[in-house]
Structure formats: C-alpha cells, structure tokens
Amino acid sequence: MQIAVIYDFAVNKGGGDFVMLNILEALNNASYKVSLLTSRPKGLYESAEFFGKPVPNVNICHVRVPSYLRHPYTIAYIACEVAKIKGDAYDAYLVSDDIPKYIAGQKGVCYMHYPHASRFKFKEYIATKYKTTLRGRLVWRLHRTIFPKFYLINGKPKNWLFIANSIVTRRHVAETFHVDIEDIALLNPPVATRKINEIWRNSSLEKENLIVCVGRFEFEKRFTDVIQALARLKKSVDVKLSLIGFRYDERQLVKAIKTFGLDGNVELLVNAERESLISRLLRAKAIVHPTPHEPFGIAVVEGMAAGCIPIVRRRFNGPWLEITKEGKYGLGFSDLGELTNAIEKVIEFYDSFDVEAIVARALKFDEAEFKRKFVNLFENFMTA
C-alpha cells in the first residue's frame, strides 16, 4: 500500500516534527510503503538528529516550491503539484493540521495539532503579533482571505479521517468544520517519556531549586508571568528559572528579566540543543506552563517524566484537562498570586509530592503507545 505524507520538517521546530517522525516510523514498521513529499528534504534529517531518533526509512520526494511561499502555502503547492502529476497513484495521503483542496477528493488522514481553519473562528489562538501591529493585522487579513482558496475550512470529506491531538482541538475542529465530535478521533501526541524517565532514573543529579519553562518565545506563551512570580519570591526563596525555547521574540523576556533585577536568577536558552533541555529537567523541581490557550503541551509531559511537578494554568486547555487531570497530577493556577504560591510550595515541599504517580501519568503518553494506537486507527480507516 502506497502512502504519501506531505510535510515540511524543521520549518516550525517543535512537537509537530516529533509527532510526524513517529507517524513515519509507525507506518514504516507496519510495512507500508511511505513517500515523504516535501520542499525541504534535509529537514527530515535535521529533525531526526535534534530529537535523537533514527531517520525513518521512507522515499523522499523533493518538490521545489517558489521561494516567496511560506508555510502553510508550501504544503498546498506540493499537494497541487502531486495532484497534477501523480493523481490517484497513492492509496492514501497524510497531512498535518489542514487539508489542501487539491487532494480532498482522495482518501486521507489529517492529524490536527490545531488547524489554521480553527484559528479564524477561535481568535484567542491567533499569535499576538497578528493582533497588535498594523503590519500583523494586514498579514492576517490577507491570510484569512486567501487560505480558503487552497484549504478546506468547512465540512469533512467522507473519505478522510480527522485525528485531534487533544480534547480542546477535537471540540474546536468539530465546531469549525460543522461535524459531530464523534466523527473525530482523539489521539494524544507522542512524548519520549520512557527515554527521558530512564535518563532521570540513571542520573546522579539531584533536584535543585530550579523551575523550567519550555516553548517558542512568543508573547502568548506568557513566560513573563513566571518572571513576575519569581520576582515576588526573590526575597523569601532562592529560586532559579530556565526559559528554554526556539527563537521568535525573546526581547520581551530580556526586558522583563532586567526590569525585575533577575539577571542572576534567570537563564534564557535560545534554540538550545535537546541535551540542554533534558539536563535542566533532570535538575528542576517544577515545570511551569503558563500559556492560557494550549491544545496539549508536550513539554509538560516531558518534565513530568523527569520527576518535575507540573504547574499549569487552570482553564480549558490541554495541560489542565488532559495531562494533569485538573490538578490530580500537579498544581493549577489562575492568577499571579496562585502561580507564586504554587512555585513556592513545590520548591519548599517537593519531597511531599507523589512524584511516582506523576511519572506514571507521563508514561501513558509514551511514543510507543502513540504508534500502536495510530496504526490501529489508520488500518481500521483504510479497511472500512
């Protein structure tokens, strides 16, 4: 059976690449013949190296796209070219987040982290830069105008399987595409929890008065809230903070660190190697996830696998609803005061937490479990 995966690795580095690496690996292990259709052939190797995973044994087809195109329009261009040249040569297509119109009539699977189509409806998921500057608003208006010309934004093709990464994404996709929620499969993303946990178990490092935040350096991640909480604690508790993420707009963080006089308490690791992330998690007592609108939150699970207590925002988001089960496996907060108290509690009383229960929760999201469930969903869909 021939499967075409349309995806560009290493464009927006993060959990999405790790998910697709696992999907390629799962399909390959299940003996499917997989072709990766991409405008960035080297991206697969870059992502595999970054995450410390083997390069999946797939056929890489380089589709050259115009240099002026940016994601997600590069994916639409690839789909258009493949539809013209290959037609229905593949038994199924697989894409991430959104379905290009050119292949909507074929059989396919879309794994949704959070589709662009839903961002038009749920504006809280629009990046801040597209809402606060004139240039950003103009770019978003243009994006909203031309996106429907290339992608589906309404209705679910009967020959496509929608898979949502979380309760949040599933509900929003159902409302966006006007389909019953039961018509969307739910499969949480893979996390390298067993590998991280094994490193932690075998490590001689001890937990320190360190907290970690992980994510792309965007304003909406709300890392500045954690900096403010740290400033409140500075006089009573000696706490260090590691902010780890991909380059985006870290100027706001640099400014906040200086404003609150926390140069000696906060380190900013931009585009850090994965080894640096893991080493911080091994030593940290808590991983803090302050983002209000987070569909899932892979970094939270990674921290839990390394024995970190998760401190997450208490609202309709993945870390609170799905990962910590509304505080059963960690702490929640709604405002700056609660965040400050939660950090202080973990720093002072880390040994009183049921760390083993938190680790056990993290292991349920391991990549091996994801691959097993994904193949089952895929095979059931293909034989239906």
The string of pLDDT tens digits covering residues 249-287 is 788 898 989 999 998 899 999 888 899 999 999 999 999
- Sorted by where each begins, the domain ranges of the chain are 2-190+366-383, 193-363
What's the confidence (pLDDT) of residue 127? 85
Q: What's the CA gap between 322 and 37, in Å, rounded?
A: 33
Provide the pLDDT for residue 160: 97
pLDDT band at 229 (very low <50, low <70, confident <90, very high): very high
Binning pLDDT at 50, 70 and 90, where does residue 15 land?
confident
Q: Which of 33-42, 128-137, 364-373 has the lowest mean pLDDT?
A: 128-137
Q: What is the rounded CA–CA span in Å between residue 297 and residue 219?
A: 16
- For 193-363, which CATH class? alpha beta
Question: Residues 118-126: contacts with CB within 8 Å, 24+ apart?
Answer: 118/169, 118/172, 118/173, 118/175, 118/176, 120/144, 120/147, 120/153, 120/176, 121/172, 121/175, 121/176, 122/172, 122/176, 124/292, 124/293, 125/293
Instruction: Specify the CATH superfamily of domain 2-190+366-383.
Output: Glycogen Phosphorylase B; (3.40.50.2000)
pLDDT digits (tens, 9 = 90+) for 119-158: 999 999 988 889 888 999 999 999 999 999 999 999 999 9
Q: CA end-to-end span of the chain, whole Å?
A: 15
Res 237: pLDDT = 81
pLDDT digits (tens, 9 = 90+) for 264-273: 899 999 888 8
Give the predicted TM-score (pTM) of the model: 0.93
The per-residue pLDDT for 1 is 87
Look at residue 101 and tell me whether its pLDDT is greater than 90: yes
Residue 205's pLDDT band, with cuts at 50, 70 and 90, is very high
Q: In what order do the strands lie in the sheet with 33-38?
A: 59-62, 33-38, 2-6, 92-96, 108-112, 160-164, 184-186
